[in-house]
């Protein structure tokens, strides 16, 4: 087999479908290896398409058993079966019916796209183009139909049968089989189709919508795991209530089902009325799930539920519009979590993810606009840019328009586009109509890749009593296959800002260009004058991270300290500590002295600032304090340096700084651990306040261990043994993994033994070992790939072991001898034959390869070229490797 580069698909080439499908009747007879599907499609020519064009139905790895056109076998020669399509020449120029019988083998489906089996459960995954692996279809999101699905299965094997929409008839089907019919009255694209059949446990509750609809909500899990399902179930009910109050959006079916499966390529999927989840984002108990797991479950349950309006009721015209549903829905789930937890703490978490995942993507060879203009493989565009930067664009829209006009615009959007497949233009038009504003310049955020930098400088004029801020925005020129690299146009950048008095007093300064605390930077350069400013203030810029930009704003340590102590904006208080930490790390690296004994002026300033902060308010908001105490990661420092990066130097600089902080703050950290200790037998709560106390306690442990490995080992070993929650146990184990020695190996072995039957817990065990920053880790990871609990076929296992190695272990992934690159490249090659989507995602870890110094760069390139040279590469991997090298 030869590697074929898939053709480029361009947004500019969009054409409506020549045919539409109004109704689909599916009859699915489930069988482990020979599942048969009869699809009866009510088709008609699309008035917007080309009259008389051949009907080209998509198909992938299907066996065609029978075909009928209006109840007759089609004329000989009228039908052509191609490897990836079924073509009907000269179809009727009026509505017609096509009945297609296909056969598939769910047990052999290792791509986990289409109909497959996970732990004996039949399930489907159709986004983006998996429905064509079930039957021949117009598998594109702008073809929307009403589906009725009859599912039949062996009663023993699959007592539970679930489909989209509302349940209909069900009963025995003879020979030990049974059936269930599901009808979904809402027209939907094929990517939202789903069915499930299997032996599953169930927990359920009821919810009455604002319209008075009585809804049954159920969560289905592996039998025996029911006690771990109530948190997710409750999160569904809370999401339903929130979407009513926050956006006026009620649920629209009689049942809402969530099914957890253990083999899933992504996090979860918003199929209409039947969300299918990676079980990692459903199952929770204090002994098996960390606080981060609880928070993720809540967020992803909300995300999939919110898709019912932003994604399902209003879907995407084509896959270029992916951010229309994903960016918007991420924004909605972020707002939900912010309301359910702490808004400032959540905002900081969002920005940390954006900087750790999206900024690097935007700075490397895989950079693309939030709405790409071209793709070869759509599955490679479920990215941090589409999701996270897409959410930031929606957030900026709200900042620019204000909450009232934003909500009005959302209402208009839902009203105007309900039941349709829409575009980014439709979305923006709703806000333009509501606010009377021209959003044409704002729309550039969707079209231009790259992270903008905003350089700011401030000047106080005591005589004139003015304070002037000069802004300059610049955007990197990103060359992609679709866009030539023409000079980017200025963006519309909302700058939420304020002036802070260095002594903590009030600043009187005013500017009529600042409205509700926001200045809008629209030109490449602009300046803002505040009047009535007596003394030089410290500007607090991009409060709440009001735009996804890098800010170049030189402040002295004293000025950063003033912001940390006195800013009214919690995000910028945290940012001040982060900036101090980053500057301290960078100055060590740049001086070529990552391990210097002295803390340096910035390190000293940071220590003093953190000491004062801890004394004043650590216990007031422990979750916030934990974030303030956490230094920016290695990757953020690498990003800042940008070229010829030496990951070892960065790592040493950061570790040494942690050691300094741990020493300087030791007494305070120990006292904090005491003050935050949980009384024995205290009831567990996953709420944000309790999680915040655990987080601060564990950050304290981590810094103490950095300063004194002996003490750290004793404390961590004791905590691993005595911990009442997985959060505390895993945090202590993670601290131990940084302390080489026998205690570590004993603790790891004990953990593996204790959780030998808990795959999701062993994933955490895989992940922390893969992140050990020591030369032995490559061999350790190779060894773990042979562990009985590891399986290359399970995406969670692969991400935990190999994904964690490539993303969370910069010094070992970027080993100078290339052994880290080889490990990941090899895994990609092995996996590609089984599951190309997961293989391609794994390969994106090479995204920043051009940033590292020459020796490593050459090794990385060799590893990438070795992947590129493999014959028969999947389109998924060949797309990523091609763009990475391109
Ligand atoms: N649409 C899913 C989401 O909520 C993501 C997904 C994409 C899942 C493709 C499976 C396959 O974000
Ligand atoms: Zn989504």
DSSP state of 456: E
CA of residue 306 to ligand 2 center, whole Å: 9
Q: Does residue 383's CB lie within 6 angstroms of at least one atom of ligand 1?
A: no
Q: Enter the tokens of residue 138.
A: 């117009």
388 lines ligand 1 (CB under 6 A): no
Among 78, 58, 54, CA closest to 68: 78
Give the pLDDT of residue 6: 80
Read off the pTM: 0.98
Residues annotated as catalytic (active site), given as ranges? 304
* Burial grade of 40 (CB within 10 A; 0-12, 13-18, 19 or more): middle
Note whether 133 and 174 are within 8 A (CB).
no
Q: Does the Cβ of 266 fall within 6 Å of ligand 1? A: yes
Backbone angles phi, psi at 688, to 5 degrees: -65, -35
- Give the Å distance between the CA of 615 and the centre of ligand 1: 45
- Ligand 2 centroid to residue 651 C-alpha, Å: 34
pLDDT of residue 487: 85
Q: What is the pLDDT of residue 514?
A: 98
Our answer on whether the CB atom of 127 is closer than 6 Å to any ligand 1 atom is yes
Q: Identify the nearest ligand to the CA of 329 by its number.
A: 2
Two structure tokens written together for 752: 């593996």
DSSP 107: G
Q: Calculate how far, in angstroms, residue 266's C-alpha sits from the geometric centre of ligand 1.
A: 6
Mutation probe of ligand 1 site: the residue of 113, 127, 129 with most atoms within 8 A of C-beta: 127
Report the pLDDT value the prediction gives residue 681, as an integer from 0 to 100: 87
Using the 8-state DSSP alphabet, how is residue 523 labeled? Answer: S
Estimate to the nearest angstrom the gap between the alpha carbon of 205 and the chain centroid: 28
How many whole angstroms separate alpha carbon 423 and alpha carbon 829?
A: 37
**pLDDT at site 1:** 44
CB 396 within 8 A of CB 445: yes
Question: Are the C-beta atoms of residues 825 and 860 closer than 8 Å to each other?
Answer: no
How far is the C-alpha of 613 from the C-alpha of 521, rounded, in Å? 33
Res 2: pLDDT:
45
pLDDT value of position 392: 99
ipTM for this prediction: 0.99
How many Å apart are CA 166 and CA 272, to the nearest integer? 10
Helix (H, G, I), strand (E, B) or coil at 412: helix
Nearest to 765 by CA among 288, 299, 225, 352: 288
Beta bridge partners of 178: 153, 172
Ligand 1 contact, 326 CB (< 6 A)? yes
* The ligand 1 atom nearest the CA atom of 300: 4
Q: What is the mean pLDDT of each run of 10 residues along the chain (886 residues)?
A: 74 98 99 99 98 98 98 96 98 98 98 98 98 99 99 98 98 98 99 99 99 98 98 99 99 99 98 99 98 98 99 99 99 99 98 98 98 98 98 99 98 98 99 98 98 98 98 84 74 98 92 97 98 97 98 96 97 98 96 84 93 96 98 97 98 97 98 94 95 98 98 98 97 98 98 98 99 98 98 98 98 98 98 98 98 98 98 98 97
Which residue among 125, 239, 268 has the greatest number of ligand 1 atoms within 8 angstroms of its CB, and so is best to mutate? 268
């Amino acid at each position: 087999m030869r590697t074929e580069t898939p053709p480029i698909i361009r947004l500019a080439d969009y054409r409506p479908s020549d045919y539409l499908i109004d109704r689909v009747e599916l009859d699915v007879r489930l069988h482990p290896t020979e599942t048969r599907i009869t699809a009866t499609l009510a088709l008609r020519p699309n008035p917007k398409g080309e009259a008389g064009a051949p009907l080209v139905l998509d198909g992938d790895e299907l066996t065609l058993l029978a075909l009928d056109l209006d109840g007759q076998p089609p004329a000989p020669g009228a039908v052509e079966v191609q490897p990836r399509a079924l073509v009907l020449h000269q179809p009727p120029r009026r509505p017609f019916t096509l009945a297609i019988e296909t056969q598939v083998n769910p047990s052999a489906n290792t791509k986990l796209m289409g109909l497959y089996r996970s732990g004996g459960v039949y399930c489907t995954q159709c986004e983006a183009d998996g429905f064509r692996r079930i039957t021949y279809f117009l598998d594109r999101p702008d073809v929307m139909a009403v589906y009725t699905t009859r599912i039949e299965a062996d009663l023993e094997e699959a007592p539970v049968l679930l489909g989209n929409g509302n349940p209909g008839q069900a009963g025995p089907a003879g020979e030990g089989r049974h059936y269930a019919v599901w009808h979904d009255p809402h027209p939907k694209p094929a990517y939202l189709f789903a069915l499930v059949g299997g032996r599953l446990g169930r927990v359920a509750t009821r919810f009455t919508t604002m319209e008075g609809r009585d809804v049954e909500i159920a969560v289905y899990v592996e039998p025996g795991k029911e006690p771990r399902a109530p948190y997710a179930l409750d999160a569904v009910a809370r999401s339903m209530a929130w979407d009513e109050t926050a956006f006026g959006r009620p649920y629209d079916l009689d049942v809402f089902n969530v099914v957890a499966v253990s083999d899933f390529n992504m996090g979860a999927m918003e199929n209409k009325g039947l969300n299918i989840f990676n079980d990692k984002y459903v199952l929770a108990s204090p002994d098996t799930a960390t606080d981060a797991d609880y928070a993720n479950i809540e967020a992803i349950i909300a995300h999939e539920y919110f898709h019912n309006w932003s994604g399902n009721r209003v879907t995407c015209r084509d896959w270029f519009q992916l951010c229309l549903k994903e960016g918007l829905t991420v924004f909605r789930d972020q707002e939900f979590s912010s309301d359910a937890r702490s808004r400032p703490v959540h905002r900081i978490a969002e920005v940390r993810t954006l900087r750790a995942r999206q900024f690097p993507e935007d700075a490397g060879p895989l950079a693309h606009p939030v709405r790409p203009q071209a793709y070869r493989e759509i599955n490679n565009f479920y990215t941090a840019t589409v999701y996270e930067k897409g959410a930031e664009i929606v957030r900026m829209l709200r900042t620019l328009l204000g909450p009232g006009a934003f909500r009005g615009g959302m209402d208009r959007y839902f009203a105007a586009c309900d039941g349709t497949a829409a575009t980014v233009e439709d979305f923006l038009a709703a806000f333009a109509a509501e606010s009377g504003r021209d959003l044409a310049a704002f729309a550039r955020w969707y079209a231009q890749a790259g992270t903008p930098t905003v350089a700011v400088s401030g000047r106080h004029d005591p005589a004139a009593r003015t304070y002037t801020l000069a802004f300059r925005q610049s955007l990197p020129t990103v060359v992609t296959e679709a866009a030539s690299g023409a000079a980017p146009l200025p963006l519309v950048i909302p700058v939420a800002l304020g002036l802070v008095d260095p002594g903590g007093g009030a600043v009187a300064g005013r500017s009529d260009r600042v409205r509700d605390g926001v200045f809008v930077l629209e030109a490449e350069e602009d300046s803002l004058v505040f009047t009535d400013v007596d003394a030089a203030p410290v500007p607090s810029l991009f409060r709440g991270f009001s735009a996804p930009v890098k800010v170049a704003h030189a402040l002295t340590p004293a000025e950063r300290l003033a912001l940390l102590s006195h800013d009214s904006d919690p995000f910028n208080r945290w940012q001040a500590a982060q900036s101090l930490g980053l500057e301290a790390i960078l100055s060590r690296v740049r001086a070529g002295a990552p391990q210097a004994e002295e803390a340096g002026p910035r390190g000293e300033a940071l220590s003093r600032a953190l000491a004062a902060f801890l004394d004043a308010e650590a216990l007031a908001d422990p979750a916030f304090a934990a974030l303030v105490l956490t230094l920016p990661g290695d990757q953020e420092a690498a990003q800042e340096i940008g070229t010829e990066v030496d990951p070892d130097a960065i790592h040493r600089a950061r570790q040494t700084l942690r050691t300094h902080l741990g020493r300087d703050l030791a007494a305070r950290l120990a006292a904090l651990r005491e003050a935050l200790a949980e009384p024995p037998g205290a009831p567990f709560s996953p709420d944000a306040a309790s999680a915040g106390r655990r987080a601060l306690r564990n950050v304290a442990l981590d810094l103490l261990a950095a300063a004194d490995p002996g003490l750290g080992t004793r404390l961590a070993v004791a905590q691993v043994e005595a911990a009442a929650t997985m959060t505390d146990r895993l945090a202590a184990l993670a601290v131990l993994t940084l302390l080489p020695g026998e205690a570590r190996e004993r603790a790891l072995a004990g953990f593996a033994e204790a959780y030998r039957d808990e795959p999701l817990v062993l994933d955490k065990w895989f992940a922390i070992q893969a992140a050990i920053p020591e030369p032995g880790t490559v061999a350790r990871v190779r060894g773990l790939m042979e562990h009985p609990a590891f399986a290359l076929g399970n995406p969670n296992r692969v991400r935990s072991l190999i994904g964690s190695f490539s993303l969370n272990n910069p010094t070992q992934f970027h080993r100078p001898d290339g052994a880290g690159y080889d490990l990941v490249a090899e895994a990609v090659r092995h996996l590609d034959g089984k599951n190309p989507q997961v293989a391609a995602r794994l390969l994106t870890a090479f995204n920043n390869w051009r940033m590292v110094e020459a020796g490593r760069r050459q090794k990385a390139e060799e590893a990438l070229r070795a992947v590129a040279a493999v014959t028969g590469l999947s389109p998924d991997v060949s797309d990523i490797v091609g763009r990475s090298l391109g």
